[in-house]
Structure formats: C-alpha cells, structure tokens
Homo-oligomer: A and B are copies of this chain.
C-alpha cells in the first residue's frame, strides 16, 4: 500500500491571501490600486465575507493595505506601501515578549547608525544636509521636554540614514526607533539634570553632522557610535575593537 499524502489544510483566509499576494508578486496589483469590494471579492473567490476580511486584516498588518469607509474613489481597500509601522509593530511586540532584548535592539541600531553615518558621508547632498540641520536647530530649544527632544533626535538620525540611500535600511531604522521610543525617553532623562544634559547630546550631533558634511566616513561612523554609547552606556554587549 502506498502512503497517503495527508491533505494540506489551508484555511480560507490563507487561500484569499495567496490569490492577492500572487497578483502583487506578478505586478498585476501595485501600490495605489483598489481591491474589489469585500462582498464582491468573497463571491469571486467562493468564500465568506468574514474570511475575506481576515485576509485583509493580515495585509493591513503587513503594511500593504489601507481600508476606508464611505463611497467615492478614495473608499474601499487600497494597496499601500508602508513597511514602517508593520516592522515596528513586530519588533515592539517581540521586545515585550522577551524574544528580543533591548540590548539587541541597541546593538542593531549601532550597526545601522555606523553604516548610515559612513554612507551618508559619501553620498549626502545639500538637500539631505539641510534636513539634518533643520532637526539640529529644532533641538537647540532649551524649553523642550525630553520627549520632544527625542522626537527631533529621531528626525536627525532618520535623516542621516535616509541620506545613505537605502530605503530598506531607513525603514529598519525608523522601526527600531519607534519600537523602543518609550525606552529612549527614559535613557535621555537618566543622563542627568535636564536641560543641561542636552548639551552633550547636541555636541555629539554636531560632530556627526560635521563629519558627514566634510565627507569623512570613518569620523562619521566613530561619532555615531560614541553618541549611541553615551545614551546607552551599559547596554551594548560586544566591544567594537
């Protein structure tokens, strides 16, 4: 007797997912396109509307879909392209589950920020530099709360990463910052009395900016690293040299 091939149980929403993802992979569906209505899709695929909706929720969680109520051209399910929130949600949850430690997130940031600063020093144009400068200027206000300061700090570092010219790495950077934003504010307040403690951070940023503007990759990477180590003195596990 031959062995029986067990039937592969595929849930209905997974089948729906397959059909939609196939069209995305094939290029039939691209960002900005509208999906058919839920009722229409359900009938076309031979499943219930509930199963279609579960598939849409998954696509939404992956950052490739947004749904809007109402009528008109903007209503319905529209293909999007926003990996940031999807990635940061995944990371944030797994940090909460201790599947990832804060140290590891900081370690990943260390890798990305070193790389970004070095690449930015090679590639940054005047437009990218002015965006960094804008974030630096916003951080000069002594009236900022730590939380507000961190927002501008993130804007600066994201601008650096974007200047490096790799959108995927920029997405990772934004996701990493967003997933540990809560801890970042805490780390900053732990630095010492506020707003005096901000001075050291401003000097760090200025050093990074200068190295990038002067096109010195090595100095930029070193400045980025020492900045991160100042904010998270205890955490990063592997000494760099």
With contact pairs A96-B25, A108-B169, A169-B108 given, residues A238 and B123 touching in the complex (Cβ less than 8 Å): yes
Which residues of the partner chain B approach A89 to less than 8 Å between Cβ atoms?
62
For residue A79, which residues in chain B have a CB less than 8 angstroms away from its CB? Answer: 97
Copies of this chain, complex-wide, total 2
Q: Are B62 and A61 in contact (CB under 8 A)?
A: yes
State the interface size on chain A (CB cutoff 8 A): 54
Chain B residue numbers with a CB within 8 Å of A21 are 93, 96
Is the C-beta of A151 less than 8 angstroms from some C-beta in chain B?
Answer: no
CB distance from A84 to the nearest CB of B (A): 10
Instruction: For A131, list chain B residues within 8 Å (CB).
Output: none
| Distance in Å: Cβ of A184 to nearest Cβ of chain B | 16
Pick 28 A–B contacts, CB within 8 A, sort by A.
A25-B96, A27-B96, A30-B97, A31-B97, A50-B50, A53-B54, A57-B57, A57-B58, A57-B61, A58-B58, A58-B60, A61-B61, A62-B89, A63-B90, A81-B97, A81-B98, A83-B90, A83-B99, A86-B90, A100-B171, A104-B168, A107-B168, A107-B169, A108-B168, A115-B115, A122-B238, A164-B238, A165-B238
